[in-house]
Chain A
Amino acid sequence: MSAATTPVLTVRHARKRFGAVDALKDVGLTANAGEVLALLGDNGAGKSTLIKCVSGVHELDEGEILIDGEPVAIHSPAAARRAGIETVYQDLALFDNLTPAQNFYCGREIAFPSWLPSGLRFLASRAMDQNAAEIIDRLKVRLPRFDAPVALMSGGQRQAIAVARAAVFARKVVILDEPTAALGLRESRKVLDLIRQLRAEGKAIILITHNMEHVVELADRAVVLRQGRKVGELKPSRANRQKLVSMIVGAEA
């Protein structure tokens, strides 16, 4: 991490309580442009809570979130999106009954005329189809058919659509919550390649995964959480892989 560049995303002194449970205790985090940051931890370590706070599903009790060094208030998923943060949750939030292009633009349709309230505008379907096709092409995602509902597509293809959608609308940060958990070997590989490509395009990527192979292969940095605290941060490599695992499970040998 060079000191000269401002991190795209900074989380400082994050605290979150659910009733009597401290889900996050003074956690800090930075994510840089063109970098994959792996967020690691066992179940219940606080990864999901932290991610949900950054993506606007939960609100932090204490602490602050900065984008490009400027504090931002993230009270809702829409606010996070406005701040340039897109999240791909495990359930993908795809609409089975809509086509890839319709999924891409759902909730932020290209429509006219602009003087009408957004719901009453008319869909610019051709523009949306073309743009989505270009993006999907650029990211080298192959879909069997572009005009079919995504219900007909495989897990990997659906994952790719969700990641591509997030990538396109995220101006700053893409958060991926276990993007390969439900995929076979070959489809996982393709999603990893897609993540590489997003990194090359200069996005800051936060990757949550349990797959240490993927972490070592892809992540530029790893942050480990345990019981709501940050317990370590290092550059993953084959050599320190075992150390990462012990940090995660809390059995430092």
Chain B
Amino acid sequence: MDQQSDIASGPQGAGRHDTTLSAVRLGLRLLSVGPLLILIVLILAIGMVTPNFLSPGNVSNILAQTAVIAIVAMGQHLVILTRGIDLSVGANLALATVIGGLAYRWADSAVIVMLAMVLSGAAVGAVNGIVYVFGRLPHPFIITLATLSICRGLALQFAIGHTTMRGMPEAIATIGGASTFGVPNSFFVVFAVAAVLVVLAKAMVWGRWIYAVGGKPDAAVQMGIPVRGVLVSTYVISGLCAGIGAVVLAGRTQAGSPLYGNLLELDTIAAVIIGGASFLGGRGHVGHALIGAIMIGVIRNALNLLGVNIFFQMIAIGLIIVIAVEGDVLRNHLEARARSMHAGQG
């Protein structure tokens, strides 16, 4: 009776079976570290071809250029974890910089201007989340597409015909544009956002609920998780990250502009997927967003240094997205294999 009670304890000596199973497990492990490996190989390879690539100046340059994508991608990653998508982040960021520019005309206070940008971003995120959840929309695609359009329109309207609104408080320019010990300050912002999100996602109950909602929404309801609140919160955080990205970008350029953040939604979605998070939801962490953002930055920078034209950059990033998504498909396939093999053991 005791022997019978062992659920799926395999009979000993199923040697070939075990080898295949470990091969499947190895494959899964490789897939999980794949993006990081690719990034490292990419950096080493490019470093060998173009010596200038790894110079401190260029590295610092890459970091500065990547900061905005990285920050916004980390917010996007929470939304994608819940099987959603936030198409509004680019326009949201642009609107935030314009509102920052307006606030600056009203008061030369870094705190007020910064708050204006961050709150503007979070407010747009809240609209996305609330309309999606309480408007009972089947998918967040449409509402975030709508707010993309609305935010871009509002940004153009508020900028009253200007493409740039020059001037930002000193402190914001320092955050976005200056460096400390050769590291761009904007990258410290990236680390701060990453640290907060890692704690939220991995150490707090709320983060566990985000993964649960992404893993199986029906079951999350059955288990008594406040699914609606969790969903809305991810859009608010995504919007908040767009607002923080706005501070960095407006600081670096010392201006607000309704044209900022064009196609940033695609860069951030690409970063999350390239980094190794699953588009099917429930899988991924902040590191994936960071790796993906840096990979995009590295590829753009390297192709620039090599004098490859911008069209090819777009093609290269597109190809990498295809590879990443296929990796996701392969992962699901291997998991199904592992599952059926465990059943065979039982």
Q: Which residues of A contact B (CB under 8 A)?
A: 77-78, 81, 89, 91-98, 102, 106-109, 111, 118-123, 139-144, 151-157, 160, 184, 186-187, 189-191, 193-194, 197
Contact = CB atoms under 8 A, between A and B. Distances in A.
Contacts of A107: 209, 212, 220, 223-225
B158 interface: no
Nearest to B278: A97
B203 interface: yes
Given A98-B212, A140-B2, A184-B343, A160 B204 contact: no
A78 B339 CA distance: 31
A156 B205 contact: no
Contacts of B344: 154
Interface residues of B, number: 41
A119 B226 contact: yes
Interface of B: 1-2, 4-9, 28, 203-206, 208-209, 211-212, 214-216, 218-220, 222-226, 229, 282-283, 335, 338-346
Nearest to A56: B222
A120 B204 contact: yes
B208 A93 contact: no
Given A93-B218, A156-B346, A109 B339 contact: no
B212 A106 contact: yes
Contact of B222 (A77, A144, A190): A77
29 contacts: A78-B224, A89-B222, A95-B212, A95-B220, A95-B282, A96-B215, A96-B282, A98-B211, A98-B212, A106-B220, A107-B223, A119-B206, A120-B205, A120-B206, A123-B205, A139-B5, A142-B6, A144-B8, A144-B345, A151-B339, A154-B344, A156-B7, A157-B7, A157-B342, A160-B7, A184-B346, A186-B346, A187-B7, A190-B8
**Which 9 pairs show the lowest CB-CB distances between chains A and B?**
A107-B223, A154-B343, A97-B282, A95-B215, A154-B342, A93-B219, A97-B215, A140-B5, A142-B9
B346 A111 contact: no
A81 B282 CA distance: 25
Which of B2, B209, B339: most chain A CB closer than 10 A? B339
Contacts of A77: 222, 224
A102 B1 contact: no
A81 B189 CA distance: 44
A153 B339 contact: yes
A26 to B, nearest CB: 29
